[in-house]
Chains A and B, each alone.
Chain A
């Protein structure tokens, strides 16, 4: 690639059930303005805007880049919109990264968002008029299959929920905060989709995440330490066919292998300092630990059980509280990418991992068939 890419500005909104204090455009504007502030840039400095969100029907606005062009200062500029289901926040960040790395643009503002309160997301996730089981209903059998295969004790899912909810207390932007969270409280919460209990599930949030990406010169000039992109990868596979393994999808494994190769990572468990992975239901932490090569097949849950993935553990996972604590769907993937970058910039505040230099951001979507990842470091590639 021609150019290095630096993440010089990062912001997110406060994620809430209903952001009725702002319009859809206001929500994106809030994230975009604060990301530009972080980069000491203005709207005028932006060469191109790339936005991402989940299906248009979640908010009822078709092709929202048209309506949002004004609020995002994109009049007279290029603006495009990415849509790759739940992985979209990650894919959007990758499209923005490629615009810089290719040398096509120098300064790109990228924003991912969801204002779930504007529509009925659960209806949309359940196939709209076609009807269906929703995301939890779809993924629950995969989780059950994982538990059967790995013989993981049931409390591992509860442990992930407790960890992420405790981490969320350290994140001022997190939506769901349960200060008195305990294993017992998770265990006793209602069963929603067997074996997933309510406190093991993500909320429905309004929120947006924005990043400013620049070329190397922009990174060198940035007022605060940038995060440098060392690798990006996406993979897609069909959602259903005989022989596919939805519990440990090939697409996720290929995506991880690709991004590690780009970043020169041969032993992710030891060379990565912190991970933000897309965990909408607690059990996806051990499942993705295996899928992304942080643990051998069937062994992921042991990292959780041993406390390795805690904020103070050897491989902290979702220090922000993760998707379990904030889920503005279209933004959730970009939040993972952004939180990874915040860690290597040293700007994660109370949920900062000491001395984090290499971080992984991960998102997935569809029928666990779309994957997006990046590796960011505090140092240049």
Chain B
């Protein structure tokens, strides 16, 4: 694999209901990430974004976000309807080719304008589960109960709450090889990035475990050395407990957990884990993204300050 590092990161952080359009919210974030990298915009060889049409409530919502990048002359660009962490993954794969050295990954989400309890029900199997209108909060409640019954926590915390509904955007610049060293004093070198899915049907899952997080963490090389800081996408306290166990981080002190804004949280956590390396606060960090009800899908990115 080619050495690839995150050299800059920018984010709005979680915002309460914004008045801006998604494009307006993205523009300063993308510009900041590019400016911080010190790399001319024209040198970006690949761009990939993550967002969800359903949050915006209109098909092809991501098309407008292209305005925030500036695609003239035409650019090599792709999009996933997933958390921006998967956009970053696609860009990392693209950088492995050798003909492109600089990539931009960004994501955005405005949850405040929709009823997430309603919208996220549409992630469920459309024939058998969706008509039950079991929202993420309710399904998280089932998982919290399973975690308690397995004795992993002392008591069931009431998690049947509305999912986080903040808005936000994030962007990272990734650079391959020597150029990363030229533009960044302490690049966050990506040592491993992997993702896995668990089954969708919670009835066939052991809700007191997250095998996909465990396998992704192992494949990303989490066990290859001590982790100084972990940034986890966990919407509820029991999710953090599960993720720590699955990834072998049970005793780690430095953990930041949170799952908002939706579609941005994963990329923002990875960016924060990279920033800790940029700033010399950590030598080896982990960023994590999750997707779907009950932590169905998990992505793990391990970064180090030394190549």
- Name A's B-contacting residues (CB within 8 A): 1-2, 23-24, 54-63, 65-70, 74-85, 91, 94-95, 98-99, 101-104, 118, 124-125, 127-130, 233-239, 241, 249-251, 254-255, 366-367, 369, 371
Contact = CB atoms under 8 A, between A and B. Distances in A.
B79 interface: yes
B89 interface: yes
Contact of B73 (A58, A60, A74, A254): A254
Contacts of B201: 70
Contacts of B54: 56-57, 62-63
Residue of B59, B70, B124, B297 most packed against chain A (CB within 10 A): B59
Given A67-B123, A76-B197, A82 B78 contact: yes
Contacts of A238: 66-67, 70-72
A62 B52 contact: yes
B28 interface: no
6 contacts: A2-B98, A66-B292, A69-B197, A82-B81, A83-B53, A101-B97
Contact of A81 (B82, B97, B200, B211): B82
B292 A74 contact: no
A255 B77 CA distance: 11
Contact of A234 (B66, B77, B96): B77
A127 B293 CA distance: 28
A118 B78 CA distance: 26
B286 interface: no
Contacts of B98: 1-2
6 closest Cβ contacts across the A-B interface? A55-B59, A102-B96, A251-B74, A236-B77, A62-B122, A237-B74
B86 interface: yes
Nearest to B59: A55
A189 B86 CA distance: 46
B197 A78 contact: yes
Nearest to A126: B59
B60 interface: yes
B73 A61 contact: no
Contacts of A367: 63
B199 interface: yes
Given A1-B97, A76-B197, A85 B81 contact: no
Contacts of B79: 82-84
A54 B63 CA distance: 12
Contact of B89 (A80, A129, A130, A251): A80
A236 B120 CA distance: 29
A63 B52 CA distance: 8
Given A66-B123, A67-B125, A85-B63, 17 more contacts: A23-B127, A55-B59, A58-B59, A61-B123, A62-B120, A62-B122, A63-B81, A63-B123, A69-B197, A76-B196, A78-B195, A78-B197, A82-B80, A84-B79, A94-B78, A236-B75, A241-B72
Contacts of A101: 97
Contact of B76 (A24, A69, A233): A233
B101 interface: no
B53 A57 contact: yes
A312 B73 CA distance: 38
Nearest to A251: B74
Contact of B126 (A61, A81, A99, A239): A61
A236 B80 contact: no
Nearest to A68: B200
Question: In which size bucket is the chain B interface?
Answer: 35 or more
Interface in B258-298: 291-293, 296-297
A247 B94 CA distance: 30
B239 interface: no
Given A63-B82, A66-B123, A250-B73, A79 B197 contact: yes
B93 interface: yes
Nearest to A252: B74
Given A56-B53, A66-B296, A74 B197 contact: yes
B81 A56 contact: yes
A94 B76 CA distance: 12
Given A62-B120, A98-B93, A124-B59, A77 B196 contact: yes
Nearest to B122: A62
Contacts of B52: 56, 62-63
Contacts of A69: 197-200, 296-297
A61 B99 CA distance: 36
A5 to B, nearest CB: 11
B119 interface: yes
A2 B96 CA distance: 8
B58 A130 contact: yes
B170 to A, nearest CB: 18
A56 B198 CA distance: 21
Given A80-B82, A235-B74, A63 B94 contact: no
Contacts of B296: 66, 69
Contacts of B1: 103-104
B81 A57 contact: no
A216 B178 CA distance: 29
B57 A128 contact: yes
A367 to B, nearest CB: 8
A169 to B, nearest CB: 33
Nearest to B99: A1
A359 to B, nearest CB: 22
Contact of A75 (B57, B119, B197): B197
Given A62-B122, A91-B78, A125-B59, A80 B211 contact: no
B96 A235 contact: no
A94 B94 CA distance: 10
A60 B130 CA distance: 10
Nearest to A371: B74
Contacts of B70: 238
A371 B75 CA distance: 10
